[in-house]
Amino acid sequence: MSIKKVWLDESEDECTSCGLCESIAPEVFEVPDKMVVIEGVDFSEYEDEIRDAADSCPTEVIKFEE
Ligand code: SF4
């Protein structure tokens, strides 16, 4: 399965703007204030990094769909 969608879900907790996701996958995530997913990215090229960022996010607000 490949990752088709990546988003910020603050329904239970908030992005703290820590920047960790951007340091793991700068091709996918930017943190100008709160995290944003960069538009037009082919997520299938960065699956390991996206999983790693989602696992590492301290507030678990990075969600993805396969
Ligand atoms: S790792 Fe999580 S809390 Fe930190 S900037 Fe990224 S989305 Fe926000």
Q: Is the pLDDT of residue 21 over 80?
A: yes
**pTM (predicted TM-score):** 0.96
Average predicted confidence (pLDDT) for the chain: 97
| Domains of the chain, CATH where assigned | 5-65 (3.30.70.20)
Amino acid at 61: V
Contact 23 CB / ligand 1 (< 6 Å): no
Report phi then psi at 34, rounded to 5. Answer: -90, 165
In our burial notation (b when 16+ CB lie closer than 10 A, e otherwise), range 16-32 reads: eeeebbbebbeebbebe
**Which residues are bridge partners to 65 per DSSP?**
5
Q: Is the pLDDT of residue 1 over 90?
A: no
- HSE-CB of 21 using CA atoms within 13 angstroms: 31
* Residue 19 CA to its chain's centroid (Å): 10
Contact 58 CB / ligand 1 (< 6 Å): yes
